[in-house]
Amino acid sequence: MNAERRIAVVTGAGSGIGRAVALTLAGAGWTVVLAGRRAATLEETAAAAAGRTVCVPTDVSDPDGVAALFASVRDRFGHLGLLFNNAGTFGRPAPVEDIAYEDWRAVVDVNLTGAFLCAQAAFRLMKEQDPQGGRIINNGSVSAHAPRPHSIAYTATKHAVTGLTKSLSLDGRPYRIACGQIDIGNAATDMTERMRTGTLQANGEVAVEPVMAAADVARTVLHMADLPLEANVQFATVLATAMPYVGRG
C-alpha cells in the first residue's frame, strides 16, 4: 500500500489493546487516527507513538460523533486504508436475572452499535474513495465462541460482532473492502486485571488465569493490516497459551 494511503483509524485507542495496536501501526509507518472518549488518554498514546498520529475524541455509540470522526479523516487525508474496530466494554458481571436493562444497553451500545456505526462509516469512505477499497478488522473475543459466567451482555455482543464481520466481508467484495476479525483471549490490560487475581470459572471456582502481552495481539493485527487487499485473514484467535479456553468449563 502506498504510504499516503496507509491511514488507519483505531477506536478505543486510549488504553489496552487499542493503544498497543496504535503504537505498533504507527511504528510500522501507518498514520494513525486515535479515537476514544477521553482526550487525555489519547494524548498519552500519541506521546508514546514513534510515528504520526492524530487524536479525535469520539464516543462510538454516538452516530453524530462517529460521522464527524470519519468526515475528519476524509477531509484531512482523503483516504482510509484501515479501521481497527476495537472500542468495547465488558460491563458489570452479574447473573442473568440481575442484569438491569441499563447495564445491558450500555454494553450493546458500545460493543455492537458502536462497532456497526464505525464499520458503516469506514465502509462508505472506502467505497467512495479512489481507488476503492480498504480493510476493517473487528476486535472480537474468545467470548465470541465460549462464554464466561455472568457475561451475557458481553458474550451476546461478541457473537454478534462475528455476524457483523461476515456480512461486511460479503458486502465489501465488489468494492475491494476486506473484513477480518481477531478474537483475543487474556491480553494483559486493565480489562483483564481480574484474571491475575482470580476470576470465576464455569465450575464455580475462582482461579488465576494466565495472560499474554497486548503487544503480541498488536503484531497479529499489523500482519492482517499489511496484507494486500487480495488476501484476508478472516478470523484469527490469539490467546494466552495456557488459559482455559479449549475445553473451557
| Per-10-residue mean pLDDT, the chain, length 249 | 79 97 98 98 98 97 98 97 96 94 97 98 98 97 88 96 98 98 89 78 85 95 98 96 77
Provide the pLDDT for residue 2.
Answer: 58
Cell of 149: 459466567
d(CA 65, CA 78): 19
Q: How many CA atoms lie within 13 A of 187 on its CB side?
A: 25
Query: Bridge partners of 85?
Result: 138
Per-residue pLDDT at 61: 98
Task: Answer yes or no: are the C-beta atoms of 32 and 38 closer than 8 Å.
Answer: no
Q: What is the DSSP string of the chain?
A: --GGG-EEEEETTTSHHHHHHHHHHHHTT-EEEEEES-HHHHHHHHHH-SS-EEEEE--TT-HHHHHHHHHHHHHHHS---EEEE----------GGG--HHHHHHHHIIIIIIHHHHHHHHHHHHHHSSS--EEEEEE--GGGTSPPTT-HHHHHHHHHHHHHHHHHHHHHGGGTEEEEEEEEE-BSSGGGGGGGT-EE-TTS-EE----B-HHHHHHHHHHHHHS-TT----EEEEE-TTSS-TT--
What pLDDT sits at residue 138?
98
Q: Which residues are catalytic?
A: 154
d(CA 120, CA 117): 5
Calpha distance 52→239 (Å, rounded): 29
User: So what's the pLDDT on residue 1?
Assistant: 53
Domain boundaries, the chain: 3-239
Site of grid cell 494466552: 240
Topology (CATH level 3) of domain 3-239? Rossmann fold (3.40.50)
Q: Whats the size of the chain, residue-wise?
A: 249
- Which amino acid appears at position 110 of this protein? V
Q: What is the pLDDT of residue 194?
A: 73
Residue 235 half-sphere exposure toward CB, CA atoms < 13 A = 14
